[in-house]
Amino acid sequence: MSESGRGEKDEDAYDYVIVGGGTAGCVLASRLSEDPECRVCVVEGGPSDVGDENVLKLRNWINLLDTGYDYGYPTVEQPRGNSHILHSRARVLGGCSSHNTLISFLPFPQDLQEWVRAGAEGWDAGTLLPYRQRLRNTIRPVAEKDRNPVAHDFVGAAVDALDVPVVDDFNAQPFTEGAGFFSLAYDPATGYRSSASVAYLHPVMDRPNLTLKLETRAYRLLRDGAGRLTRVRVRYADGSAGTVRAERELLLCAGSVDTPRLLMLSGIGPAEDLRELGIDVLADLPGVGENLLDHPESVIVWETAGPLPPNSAMDSDAGLFVRRDSREPGPDLMFHFYQVPFTVNTERLGLPSPPYGVCMTPNVPKSRSRGRIWLRSADPDEKPALDFRYFTDPEGYDERTIVDGLRIAREVAATGPLRDWLLRESAPGLDVTSDEALSEYGRRAAHTVYHPAGTCRMGRAADDGAVVDPLLRLRGEEGVRVVDASVFPSLPTVNPMVTVLLVAERAADLITGRAGPGTTATSARDVLGEEQR
């Protein structure tokens, strides 16, 4: 990304500069610009989603993958997993909330307590969960008109086969197991998303103190004359370069891949690695890019006799949670039920792809494998290396969870009324029965639920691997915070989008000094209110 021969735009100054107009960035932009005297700028690498039916129609999510709306980060070789996984990261206003299925879960209280034990003081359930009252997204269980009959029968079969309860609303109270239709952030009448962009930015885009720099890529942070990180080098859509300056705070919300990538390109990260790439070290922070988390999943596919009824919100409207170990505080195995055959990874293994079908995707809610992100070069245009180290935990917990999940999925499929829809198992096939064979298949056909997190994790001052403190401030710097899933010390059991929204809502209070919702509740049951139970 050489700047020679390119136009240079004058430096623009704002009170707050938000790098990344994704899930967290939209929340911060909306909340901080509520003060008309406060100048807020969002630097977003993708285009607007306003009026874009490709993005706004929730059911079109699968057609956004590996397109111009997607940065598409490959993984490095995975000796015990699938090396062909392309990690989708959204290139559009709203970030992954404009790109994903918008499955919406409150985090479990025990997940937040895990954060506190890891040094994230002040992020307990009693503090964070009350922010649910402030969320602007419309979150509700899948509407009845979108509940496909085959998904209904999946729920019924799971309940009968596994003796788990039907869950009418997964956000009503904490649960340990159950099957039901998910809650989604969407408008059933239109099928449109209630993304962070739609909910937080669309209503306020005319604020004169809010500037959106779209299709503008941030690629380096710079110090000012006083030594503070206040300036962001950017590349505009027309190829010209410029600098944006934050007079109060610089807020990094680029996500679990691009936030650590930006820090490392700026010379903030593991010093020895950066020097080897010829990058001048501004701060030696060895935790940047470490602790890469994800929810790995596998897939089992069945052929159906013909096309299924067409109604659906987004083709994966129902799911199942199982607690195999009663000592665990919550579920330790999750399934999405797809009303389409998801065969991108099974075809690579030479397995047939049915013309019509369904599948279940068992995933590992509390994966114990840990990976890392690093730079391949000092060139901002070169994609970083992502190594999730799937299925490498020493005890083999992740691998065992997938094997158990494939067996449990077969139990559900063999139970009516779901059984009556299915012709045959296409992948892996009924001849794959041993633990060893199921593990080999499950790992090679594995995919991601697209939940990278943890690469700039929160921690206490004595924790050398922590990148931000519990106030989300970048370690050793003044006026810089990180607000996205990269700060998670550990990954929530459930889909994490709502957790990102909650973190961003609280971050807005931390930045402005505004009081929180003001409750001492300690569980989701306490903060949801009677009307939600």
451 is catalytic: yes
Chain-centre distance of CA 288, in angstroms? 18
Q: Report the distance separating Cα 369 and Cα 383, nearest Å.
A: 23
Beta bridge partners of 192: 57, 187
Please give the single-letter amino acid code of residue 493: T
Known binding residues for FAD = 92
Q: Report the distance separating Cα 340 and Cα 314, nearest Å.
A: 10
Please give the single-letter amino acid code of residue 126: G
Known binding residues = 92
Q: Report the distance separating Cα 52 and Cα 195, nearest Å.
A: 13
Q: Under 8 Å CB-to-CB from 233, ≥6 apart: which residues?
A: 218, 219, 220, 221, 222, 241, 242, 243
Neighbours of 294 (CB within 10 A): 27
Q: Report the distance separating Cα 158 and Cα 321, nearest Å.
A: 10
Pairing of strands 192-193, 183-187: antiparallel
Q: Report the distance separating Cα 300 and Cα 358, nearest Å.
A: 9
CA atoms within 13 A on the CB side of 333: 24
Pairing of strands 318-322, 178-181: antiparallel
Q: Report the distance separating Cα 393 and Cα 397, nearest Å.
A: 7
| Matching residue, tokens 């919406």 | 104
**What residues are annotated to the active site?**
451
